[in-house]
Amino acid sequence: MNQEVIIVRGNHVLSGDVTVAGAKNSALKLMAASLLGQGVSTIHNVPVISDIEIMGEVLDRLGAAVAREGHTLTIDTASVDSCETPYELVSKMRASISVLGPLIGRFGEARVAMPGGCQIGARKIDMHLVGLEALGVHFDVDHGVLHAFTPDGLHGAHVYLEFPSVGATENMLMAAVTAEGHTAIENAACEPEIEDLANMLNAMGAKVSGAGTSLIEVEGVALEALHPCDHTCVGDRIEAGTFLVGGALTGGPVTVHGIDPAFLRMAIMKLRAMGCAVECGLDWVRVTRSEPLRSVDIQTLPHPGFPTDLQAQFMLLAALADDVSVITENVFENRFMFAAELMRMGADITLDDHHAIVRGVAELEGAPVSSTDLRAGAALVLAGIVADGETSVHHLEHIDRGYEDYAGKLASLGADICRVPVSSRG
């Protein structure tokens, strides 16, 4: 595949309407959950992004048949006969560890290569293992492969997670649906994507309650009681938040469709605190700004706190605000790698452990920059829209993991942007 670069010429213009795709962080787990359906499940509103392609390859390697038509995936898991995922796929995307729970739920066994993924943090899977061990799962690690087995079957348990890990909650949930008896997950992750997964599992015949709160309860059912289903993925709140930041940067108005505003309560609150006007409808959010950006303090926290996946975008806003902002990263230790790239464009940022002190500057300057992770890449493209001159954003593979036609959507809002092969830049 030829490497490409996004070229942005600063024109300070973003306005109009844009529709977000389905949530990446939900669709990946819904695909994994289809393993429990033992037949043909249909998932609608699935984004066309590279992470989805990789998960499709993982399911294919397990014996499933995955077909796409537009934004709809049809996944036939009736013939799945393997419970092992290879390193070459798992190493490309850490979310492929999410097949662990449904494989255990279906076969009582799984062999999953230890996950790789992006650079923003260690993302240890210890909590996944502790939670699953409470359900009767035993683990061996041999040459980088995690072997899970259930010599006495799966049984319900009361588990308290030491941190509301999304991945651990999801894996426990997908294993617990076929465990004998009652399972309670306390301090569970509350993200909207967890609720979406539970809704699909219930449509398949599971008995899950409390998803979206810190206490999830599961009444186990026999594997034979589970069946395929038809489900629509929720909208991507992080993609929506990214476009809202774009509107806030340039003044807008930008209206984002296909998202429940409740998913973005904390981000909307911070946009208003920074001087933006935000209107909300049933499935849309509109942002406008007519006054200078105001500084703000932000701490990333698990949902319903401020999402770590919007931290880079809001750091960009803070870089152009009228005073000093402090951004505290409590979720992923390496997410401030983005700051160094933004500083190449003239931002004034000082890093102190997990705090970033951001002093607003009058303007940014276009420069060659590199995506350090998915959200950083998206934020750097936005920075180019408000910078003076031309910005070239490299390593687009990060952006392609989570944003469908990102450059095209920004162009539809008025950005002067194009995506070209690296070679054509000389």
Any idea which residue has 């799966």 for tokens? 154
Number of other CB atoms surrounding residue 413 within 10 Å: 21
118 is a catalytic site residue: yes
Provide the angle, in degrees to the nearest 10, between the axes of the packed helices 374-386 and 337-344: 20
Task: Please give the single-letter amino acid code of residue 77.
Answer: T
Which residue, 216, 283, 275, 215, is CA-closest to 255?
283
Spatial separation of the C-alpha atoms in residues 271 and 58, rounded to whole Å: 39
Spatial separation of the C-alpha atoms in residues 417 and 410, rounded to whole Å: 8
Q: Which residues are annotated as a binding site for UDP-N-acetyl-alpha-D-glucosamine?
A: 94, 309, 331
Q: Which residues are annotated as a binding site?
A: 24-25, 94, 309, 331
- Using DSSP's 3-state secondary structure scheme, residue 233 falls into coil
Spatial separation of the C-alpha atoms in residues 396 and 202, rounded to whole Å: 37
Q: Which residues are annotated as a binding site for phosphoenolpyruvate?
A: 24-25
Token pair, residue 122, equals 């260690």
Spatial separation of the C-alpha atoms in residues 166 and 197, rounded to whole Å: 11
Considering the candidates 118, 190, 229, 276, report the single residue annotated as catalytic.
Answer: 118
Buried b / exposed e across 156-186, counting CB within 10 Å, b at 16+?
A: bbebebeebbbbbbbbbbbbbbbbeeebbbe
Give the residue numbers marked as catalytic: 118
